[in-house]
Amino acid sequence: MKLTKTAETVLQKRYLAKDEEGNVIETPEEMLWRVAKAIAKAEENYNGDTNKVAKQFFEIMDKQLFMPNSPTLMNAGTELSQLSACFVIPVDDSIDGIFKALWDMAKVQKSGGGTGFSFSRLRPQGDIVKSTMGVASGPVSFMKIFDASTEQIKQGGKRRGANMGVLSVHHPDIEDFIKVKWEEGVLRNFNISVAVTDDFVNALKNDSDYELKNPRTGDVIRKIPARKIFNLMVDGAWRNGEPGSIFIDTINKYNPTPHVGMIESTNPCGEQPLLPYESCNLGSINVANFVKNGGIDWEHLKEVVWIAVRFLDNVIDMNNYPIPEIKENTMANRKIGLGIMGFADMLFKLGISYDSNEGVEFAEKLMSFIQEESHRASSALAEERGKFPNWKGSVWEKKDIKMRNATTTTIAPTGTISIIANCSSGIEPAYALAFRRMNILDGEEFFEVNAVLEKTLRDTGIYSDELIQRIAETGSIQGIAELPEELKRVFRCALEISPEWHVRMQAAFQKYTDNAVSKTINLPNQATRKDVEKAFMLAYDLECKGLTVYRDGSREEQVLATRKTEKKERKVIRPPAFQEPRPRPKITTGRTIETRTGCGALYVTINEDEHGIAEVFVQLGKSGGCAASQTEAIGRLISVALRSWLNPDALIRQLKGIRCPSIGFDDGEIVTSCADGVAKVLERYLRGEYTKITIDLKGIKPLTEFVEEKTEEHITKLIGGVCPECGNILEYGEGCMTCKMCGFTKCG
């Protein structure tokens, strides 16, 4: 494989086998052979040529034409051998059912899988519990238990645990569910989506009421205006991208095995609707590598589709399932999800604009070809190996088509595998065309440029290092005057494409996808709630199976702002020789300031005596635990240092910028850790933003500093926060936060 620096980093951190001490013990080529041989071993069950097939599997991966989902790359050929990414676990309305689901979740996530749940069966808050004559706490309270469990499981896992929580729009607790993530830090390991029905949308379009029903009894509890609930959904999506929406009736309209059961949830990123206790393994074709001489090599693409379908069907046989119910249902339906990545790069190569009728029509042509060939490949496997066990009664039996797999296609997130394949993610437009990166292995800073753009610039003779640096400042070429307009028309980024075209592109792919499509509808920061509403209704009318919107900066906005302040003078004095800290005075005066961190509210109390700051107390809003003891320790050490005449600026410099896995935002400013939060509070305090102060440490030569008067300004960055593992920027796409530097993802 031809690997970029970023791909090398991702492979070493995430995929290559390691020994007990964490040392990498295989090369990328050896990893591919490990995977190819392990998956080809399934050929022994059907008298196939294992060596020949293993070579085919290796070649399509080595040439970066196809990559399976991350668990397969990580675990195939290892003792774990859990190869699936997507699982749905039922949650029944009993204490046994709830905690059975929790136990099942733990086993799945320990093995590296993401889990989806519908909590719609649980009785509403305040409903009766007959066995104890008590009252139910409702689905939201139980979701918090699942969230806390995931928090602990992910600490030792190879992939972070991730969940999808779904609640029916008809559930009496739907308002609480919609608003649950409006409070920062709640359900941090969940994506949440409302299961929207046709009845609800019809009521919405007619501006009428709809029914809320108790799932325990089926009784109608009350009727409320559909517009009220819809406005809450829109408001939440506008605020921070959640809840998403899954159109559950549309999903079940295309359910291939309705005789087996109804679909009630999806995996964490929403692209894989599944029956209870069902799993699916995914893989993606890098379609950008099939562009030749200005067109598509359709024959080669067909060949790779057929090999990929065989690969994914083999995975089902070679998989080590975490619980028996999942093995039983997965084997019975044999769902696979073949998708694509590199679509934006493909359009760049073909000179087609993403936001155009030509782009949408080409998407339909491409996906219809892959859909048709994957069905043919599955049908051929059915002749060779037999139909999937639940074929009788399925939509395929009604069509009189033998199929090895109940489904064959899915458009999944490809965050890290697209880095390995060196292409754009999934069907998303380019996030940005150039980045400034920091290689976390050796500290080297470098520019990463979209490969197609770089080649185009070189071919046209306008490439220069200075030009790339200018592009990297914004990630876009639209503001660079000397570039030709035709280039700007084609090379457009996510936020330069209107929401309508995002939705229409998702619908184009959904039209020819068995399962569903992971796609983020990007909105500019200034987008209104009305814009969100339009996207929702268009997605429903075009028969998308779900919708995820993200308004730029709504969740991770970084606003650089300075308040108007008077010029203030503070005197900082160099201390004398080493000495004991001055005693704590009996009486001090000060302020307690609240700031927001990823761990919750942090309260910083700053007290002064006649010499200046005498002590700092730091307390987390959450009492107890290791984090609380560490924040207390930070306060004690700062207090001793300040009473020892240490310049507070030196303390601020040491604490500021320290990172932890949980980041927060305080008045639009990113807070990377509790220590960082304390430093920023101290800095603002010394600037006089909380109170006017004059520090005069007697007997020491003053150094006068001024805080200049500035007008308020706001700059919104296209970022998704800070990666907790490498400190680079997280990108929001395909319904998930992903670091393109090290492969970290918040969605497992």
188-223 pLDDT tens trace:
899 999 999 999 999 999 999 999 999 999 999 999
- From 163, 242, 264, 269, the catalytic residue: 269
Q: 219, 190 in Cβ contact below 8 A?
A: no
Say how far apart CA 332 and CA 259 lie, in whole Å.
13
- Choose among 243, 253, 235: nearest CA to 198: 253
Please give the average per-residue pLDDT across 321-329, as a whole number.
96
Confidence at residue 622, expressed as pLDDT on a 0 to 100 scale: 54
Pair 163, 114: CB distance under 8 Å: yes
List the catalytic residue out of 69, 75, 189, 267. Answer: 267
**pLDDT, tens only, 139-162:** 999 999 999 999 888 644 556 678
Sign of CA dihedral 618, 621, 623, 629: negative
pLDDT-derived band at 621, boundaries 50, 70, 90 = low
pLDDT value at 413 more than 50: yes
Burial of 204 from C-beta contacts in 10 A (0-12 / 13-18 / 19+): buried
CA nearest neighbour of 729 among 737, 358, 462, 607: 737
Would you state the pLDDT for residue 561?
24
Cα separations (Å) of 220 from 170, 368, 694? Answer: 9, 43, 66
* Secondary structure (3-state) at 304: helix
Nearest-5° Cα angle at 483, 481 to 489: 105
Q: Tokens 């000495």, residue?
A: 579
CA-wise closest residue to 359 among 472, 481, 490: 490
Task: Give, in degrees to the nearest 5, the angle at Cα 649 between 645 and 650.
Answer: 75
CA distances from residue 392 to 263, 334, 379, 396 in whole angstroms, order as listed: 18, 14, 15, 8
pLDDT of residue 649: 83
- pLDDT of 395 > 80? The answer is yes
Q: Which residues contact 513 (CB under 8 A, 6 or more apart)?
A: 339, 367, 371, 409, 410, 411
> Using the 8-state DSSP alphabet, how is residue 155 labeled?
G
Residue-level length of the chain: 748
Q: Are 230 and 540 in contact (CB under 8 A)?
A: no
Within 10 angstroms of residue 521's Cβ, the number of other Cβ atoms is: 28
DSSP 3-state assignment of 552?
coil
- Whether the CB-CB separation of 734 and 425 falls below 8 Å is answered with yes
**Does residue 548 contact residue 519 with C-beta atoms inside 8 Å?**
yes
Q: 493 pairs with which residues across the strands?
A: 430
User: Average pLDDT, stretch 389-395?
Assistant: 98
φ/ψ (deg, to 5) at 651:
-65, -45
Q: Quick one: pLDDT at residue 76? A: 97
Q: State CA 216 to chain mean position distance.
A: 33
> Smallest Cα–Cα separation from 144: which of 102, 195, 103, 116?
102
Structure tokens at 295: 């067109």
Assign 444 a pLDDT band (cuts: 50, 70, 90): low
- Residue among 527, 551, 538 nearest 503 (CA): 538
Of 299-303, 427-431, 553-557, minimum mean pLDDT range: 553-557
Instruction: Provide CB contacts within 8 A for 311, sequence distance 6+.
Output: 39, 57, 60, 66, 68, 283
Least Cα distance to 236 among 173, 191, 171, 172 occurs for 191
What are the pLDDT digits (tens) for 83-133?
A: 998 899 999 999 999 999 999 999 999 888 899 999 999 999 999 887 776
In the chain, what is the straight-line distance between the N-terminal and C-terminal CA atoms, in Å? 25
Instruction: Classify residue 246 by its DSSP letter.
Output: E
Q: CA torsion angle for 424, 430, 435, 437 (degrees, to 10)?
A: -40
How many Cβ atoms from other residues are within 10 Å of residue 182's Cβ?
13
Judged by average pLDDT, the poorest of 268-282, 369-383, 432-446, 619-633 is 432-446
Strand partners, 285: 66, 340
Give the per-residue pLDDT at 711. Answer: 35
Q: Is the pLDDT of residue 420 over 90?
A: yes
544 is catalytic: no
Helix ranges (DSSP H) in 63-206: 70-75, 95-110, 139-153, 174-179, 198-205
**Cis amide prior to 243 (ω within 30 degrees):** yes
Q: What residues form DSSP beta bridges with 570?
A: 705
Q: What angle do CA 533, 537, 542 make, to 5 degrees?
A: 150
User: How far apart (Å, rounded) are the C-alpha atoms in residues 201 and 314?
Assistant: 41
Percentage of the chain beyond pLDDT 90 is 63
Provide the residue type at 393 as one letter.
G
In this prediction, residues 252-268 reach a mean pLDDT of: 97
| DSSP H or E stretch at residue 570 | strand 569-573
Q: Output the six-digit token pair for 605.
A: 């109390």
Side chain identity at residue 534, one-letter code: K
**30: Cβ–Cβ under 8 A, 6 or more apart, which residues?**
none
Distance, in Å, from the CA atom of 305 to the CA atom of 141, rounded to the nearest integer, reads: 44
Task: Give the active site residue among 271, 428, 669, 734.
Answer: 271
Q: Compute, in degrees rounded to 10, the torsion defined by CA atoms 646, 667, 520, 406.
A: 80
Strand partners, 731: 738
Predicted pLDDT at 566: 36
Determine the Cα–Cα distance for residues 190 and 611; give it in Å rounded to an integer.
49
| C-alpha span between 540 and 290 (Å, rounded) | 32
**CB-based burial, 184-199: b 16+ in 10 Å, e otherwise:** ebebebbbbbbbbbee
- Rounded to two decimals, what is the model's pTM? 0.79
Under 8 Å between Cβ of 402 and 383: yes
Mean pLDDT of the chain: 87
> What is the three-class DSSP state of 299?
helix
Of the ranges 88-97, 633-642, 690-699, the best mean pLDDT one: 88-97
Higher-confidence residue of 739 and 603: namely 603
Beta strands in 610-729 (DSSP E): 612-620, 664-666, 669-671, 702-706
Does the active-site annotation cover 271?
yes
Going by pLDDT thresholds of 50, 70 and 90, the confidence category of residue 458 is very high
Cβ atoms of 340 and 284 closer than 8 Å? yes
Q: Tokens 């087609």 map to which residue? A: 352
Residue type, 711: T
User: For position 581, what pLDDT does the model report?
Assistant: 81
Beta strand segments in 530-568, E: 546-547, 549-551
Catalytic, 267? Answer: yes
